């Protein structure tokens, strides 16, 4: 079973459509929640149990430095130049791979995947 995804406003619409056409449950921030803050985007993904897909590096700051409660996974796409449909191809490949993504902050590029565990609880911090 494929996880539900929440795509940030910077995720290209053609890729969102391609993921949906492939049978992936995708909610696009730009369609339903235009203009909400990064904190609100992350909270929405967490509350709905969706992986967050973004090109925005600010989420690393929110997760690792501000230690906000993360969603099940954050997937940061790190490519400056791409065709609008390419991100969907990268995500579909990721979903088809045997890589464990839930519980990780993942950085996806054309050349590979890097993962760092998400901290779901920190001693002394109430989430």
- C-beta of residue 2 within 8 angstroms of C-beta of residue 26: no
Residue 123, pLDDT > 70, answer no
Residues 6+ apart with CB under 8 A from 108: 75, 76, 77, 78, 90, 91, 94
pTM of the model: 0.91
Domains of the chain (ranges, CATH numbers): 5-117 (3.40.50)
Q: Is residue 36 exposed (0-12), middle (13-18) or buried (19+ Cβ within 10 Å)?
A: middle
Residue 127, pLDDT > 80, answer no
* Tens digits of residue pLDDT in 20-62: 999 999 999 999 899 999 999 999 999 999 999 999 999 999 9
Residue 68, pLDDT > 90, answer yes
Residues 6+ apart with CB under 8 A from 88: 14, 15, 16, 18, 19, 22
């Amino acid at each position: 079973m494929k996880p539900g995804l929440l795509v940030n406003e910077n995720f290209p619409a053609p890729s969102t459509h391609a993921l949906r056409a492939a049978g992936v449950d995708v909610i696009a921030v730009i369609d339903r929640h235009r203009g909400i803050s990064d904190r609100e985007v992350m909270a929405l993904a967490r509350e709905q149990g969706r992986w967050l897909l973004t090109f925005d590096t600010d989420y690393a700051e929110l997760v690792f430095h501000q230690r906000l409660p993360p969603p099940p996974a954050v997937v940061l796409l790190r490519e400056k130049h791409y065709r609008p449909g390419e991100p969907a191809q990268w995500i579909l490949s990721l979903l088809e791979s045997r890589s464990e993504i839930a519980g990780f902050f993942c950085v996806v590029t054309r050349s590979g995947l890097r993962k760092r565990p998400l901290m779901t609880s920190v001693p002394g911090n109430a989430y």
